[in-house]
Amino acid sequence: MFWIDFWYFFKQTTIVMRLERLIIVLILFLSLFISKKTIAQTYIKNEVDSLLYLYTTLPEDSQKVEVMHKIWLYYLNRDFKKSLQFVKESISLSQKINYRNGYIRGLDGLGTLYSNQGDYAAALNYKLQALKMAEEDQNTKTIGRLNNSLGVIYYRQKKYKDALLYYEKALKIVEKTNEYEKISTYMLNIGEVYKDIGDYQQALSYEQQALSIAKKHGITDNIAYTLGIIGQVYEQQGKWEQAFSNTKEALNIFQSLDDGVSLAEYSIATARIAIKLNRGNEALQLAKNALQYAKETSNRHWQKEAYQQLAQVYAYQGEMNEAYKYQFQYSALQDSLINEETLKRVSQLQILYDTERKQIEIEKLNTEKKLQTENAAAQYRWNLILMSMLAILGIFAISLLYNIRQRKKAYDLLKLKNAEINQQKEEIEAQRDNIDIQKKEIEAQRQDILASINYAQRIQYAILPTPEQLQTILETHFILFKPRDIVSGDIYWATKYQSQILLAVIDCTGHGVPGAFMSMIAHEMLNEIVLVKKVFSPAEILRELHENIRKTLKQEANQNRDGMDVSFIRIDETNQTLSYAGARSTMYYVKNGHLEEIKPNKYPVGGEQMEKTRLFDEHTLPYNEPIWVYLTTDGYQDQFGGEKNRKITKRVLKQNLEQIHSLPPNEQKQHLEQYLKNWQGREPQIDDILMIGLKLG
């Protein structure tokens, strides 16, 4: 419909007006793209700004070291100097506070920086130091990870025997701990080594095992990588059909993961095999796709390879002018990349070596300074001893002459001191009593505040639907509700009117007491909109809720930007339909074993409003066969943890939901709670968590 309206709008004009309107449309599309990119960059910047703020405010302890590790990892492929700076600082602070695990990770980081610059000797030196210390501490996970890293370094140098040795050590460790994703990854690495040394039977054996584990446990990216390597083995064996089938399948998976770099790489690989199968047109399209993916991801390496592949395809088709054009572009970009990469590596290696040299010079100067200080101190002590001896002799001589007088003065002074000490003792006892009183007052205040918050919790739970009420509204369901503090900024709201069920999952700005205040406001407003005004359209409910919040908080006239993310659904049991509207909160559902999602509008309910009227989209879905529906706030997917202390992510959450949807509700909830507990480890909960799953049909 949009394109029909656009054509009509474009057709009813003169040629000049058509050009003007075409320019306006192009500007609108370009501004939309730029705004989305700016939002993504702003999110990343806010995340690293938070880490840098913690870095400047935290005391010198192990927590600050962990923050520095996250910062240098962030800068690893963005700013070499900053990444090196924070690695060095983490090592220095770890030594200072005797934080051994931080020191090991710092050495590991230095090894990674050197490896990225191609200085494998230095990289191996630091990685092996880290491995030795990890083995002394019997830190199994770190030992496994470092063995795999060493295998990668040897593999890059084509030292396949050494690479296999370390890969196999890493594999044995993770097989004992049943870390399936790492088992799949390390088997994948071993198979790749056998592929490069020409042992295709062993290569296929390891890749098939890695593929089987990845499929069983839903490790999507490893499925794609193993299929790609198997395709390369078949290609080297001349089995073109099998090679094409595998690389094409890997390409499809990378498409679903939206992995632009891998899409460029495997489009080129598939195009190369398509030529062997005399599929010239398909090879041409794949090569063009590869060039597009490379440009979109700003990956100049794969852009260069795509130019060469296009040149080969056009040469195969006999179009020599096109082949020459793309071969020329390939050569020009290759020369540019070689020069840029050489200058970059030389510059960065110089920084590394200068840093090492300066560190050695600093340590040497510190040692010399320490020796000088010790010599000066020894000389000062000797002079002091001599002066003391002379003073003692003088005092002894004077004391012989004035012995009686001095004794009397000492006695009088002692009496005075005793009086002062007694007075000070009384003052100290009075201060101690005052401190005890203040401590009791503070404790009483704390208990009052805690009692108030606990009472607020009882009020908040009182407004939520009881389990019995929910059971009458939603027959088959579960609720995963974990407030970060005593009271929560995440709440749910549900009611039933005749044959219609209305359900909302709400994530208010903030958590704790501020979030709880917002949740109370949302709850009362929904009661008024639905139960009093009888508004049942999810989109219309969100619109009215947005306007009421802005009016109640006077957001037109002040700087208040508080709001909420909402998923709202209406279930029509008579017509067996589900209607959904969302404000920055996605709805997931599983139908016929496949998880789908309906994306929300990208603005919240309440808060800043740039547009004249804020409207929300409404989606309707029939459920004439059983489906599972999931509504969730962002607390679950944003929880930090795992080996690299990263977020669970939306992708992993979707995989978990697709995996567990066939289980009974209680088992689904137990699985999600156990996964969260294992992932979180000792990391604190950073936000309120709320998820509701329900079965329809």
**Residue 252 shares a structural domain with residue 277:** no
In this structure, are 229 and 275 located in the same domain?
no
Which residue in 95, 90, 117 sits closest to 105, CA to CA? 90
Say yes or no: 347 and 485 in one domain: no
Q: Residue 83 has what pLDDT?
A: 84
Please give the pLDDT value at position 11.
46
Instruction: For residues 158 and 283, give the distance between their C-alpha atoms in angstroms, rounded to a whole number.
Output: 30
Same domain, 487 and 636: yes
What is the pLDDT at residue 30?
Answer: 42
Which residue, 313, 329, 359, sits at the end of a domain?
359
Average pLDDT of the chain, as a whole number = 83
> Above 60 in pLDDT, residue 610?
yes
Q: Is residue 176 part of a domain?
A: no
Secondary structure class of 478 (helix, strand, coil): strand
| Same domain flag for 546 and 677 | yes
> Confidence band (pLDDT; 50, 70, 90) for 397?
low
User: Does 689 reside within a domain?
Assistant: yes
CA distances from 252 to 145, 227, 255, 259, 303 (A): 30, 11, 5, 10, 20
Tokens 């074993």: give the residue: 593
Q: Are residues 296 and 326 in the same domain?
A: yes
Considering the domain architecture, whether residues 251 and 343 belong to the same structural domain is answered as no
pLDDT value at 20 more than 60: no
Q: What is the pLDDT of residue 400?
A: 65
Band (413; pLDDT cuts 50, 70, 90)? confident
104-143 b/e with 16+ CB inside 10 Å = b? bbbbbbbbbbbbebebbebbbebbebbbebbeeeebeebb
What is the structure's pLDDT at 479? 96
Least confident range of 503-517, 524-538, 580-594, 680-694: 503-517
Residue 560 sits in a domain of what CATH number? 3.60.40.10
Provide DSSP, 237-252: HT-HHHHHHHHHHHHH
Give the residue from 257, 286, 301 where a domain finishes: 257
Measured distance CA(661)–CA(655) in Å, rounded: 10
Classify residue 442 as exposed, middle or buried by CB count within 10 Å of its CB (0-12, 13-18, 19+): exposed
- Strands (E) across 363-450 are located at none
Range of the domain at 306: 259-359
Task: Please check whether residues 251 and 265 belong to one and the same domain.
Answer: no
Task: Express as a percent the part of the chain with pLDDT over 70.
Answer: 82
In angstroms, rounded to a whole number, what is the distance separating the alpha carbons of residues 88 and 132?
20
Burial of 537: CB neighbours in 10 Å, binned 0-12, 13-18, 19+: middle
Cβ–Cβ < 8 Å for 539, 581: yes
Domain boundary among 311, 331, 359: 359
Whether 311 is in a domain gets the answer yes
Please check whether residue 102 lies inside any domain of the structure. Answer: no
DSSP 60-92: SSHHHHHHHHHHHHHHTTT-HHHHHHHHHHHHH
In this structure, the answer to whether residues 216 and 309 fall within a common structural domain is: no
Indicate if 245 and 332 belong to the same structural domain.
no
* Same domain membership, residue 688 and residue 594: yes
Most distant CA pair in the chain, distance: 124
Spatial separation of the C-alpha atoms in residues 130 and 88, rounded to whole Å: 15
Residue 348 has pLDDT above 70, yes or no: no
The amino acid at 190: I
Most confident of 75-79, 296-300, 631-635: 631-635
pLDDT value of position 655 = 95
> For residue 581, is it within any domain?
yes
Q: Are residues 494 and 617 in the same domain?
A: yes
Specify the pLDDT at position 376.
60
For the residues 656-669, what does the mean pLDDT come to?
A: 96
Residue identified by tokens 């632009």 is 260
**Looking at residues 246-250, what average pLDDT do you find?**
92
For residue 435, what are the contacts with CB-CB under 8 A and spacing of at least 6?
Answer: none
Q: What is the CATH number of the domain that holds 349?
A: 1.25.40.10
User: Quick one: which of 647, 650, 637, 692 has its CA closest to 669?
Assistant: 692
Cα distance between residue 51 and residue 45, in whole Å: 10
Residue 98 lies in a domain: no
Nearest to 251 by CA among 298, 217, 290, 193: 290
Span 179-191, average pLDDT: 92
Alpha-carbon distance 426 to 201, whole Å? Answer: 89
Residue 543's CB is within 10 A of a number of other CB atoms, namely 20
Q: Name the domain count of the chain.
A: 4
- How does pLDDT run across 255-281, given as a tens digit for each residue? 998 888 899 989 999 999 999 999 989
Over 50: is that where the pLDDT of 85 sits?
Answer: yes
The Cα–Cα gap between 221 and 253 comes to 8
258: left (phi over 0), alpha (psi -120 to 50) or beta: left
pLDDT at res. 182:
92
In-domain check, residue 427: no
**Least confident window among 87-96, 274-283, 382-391, 479-488:** 382-391
Considering the domain boundaries, does residue 406 fall inside one? no
Q: Per residue in 147-177, is it b (16+ CB within 10 Å) or e — as a string?
A: bbbbbbbbbeeeebeebbebbebbbebbeee
Neighbours of 325 (CB within 10 A): 15
Which residues, at least 6 apart from 606, have a Cβ–Cβ distance to it below 8 Å? 545, 546, 549, 550, 553, 555, 562, 563, 564
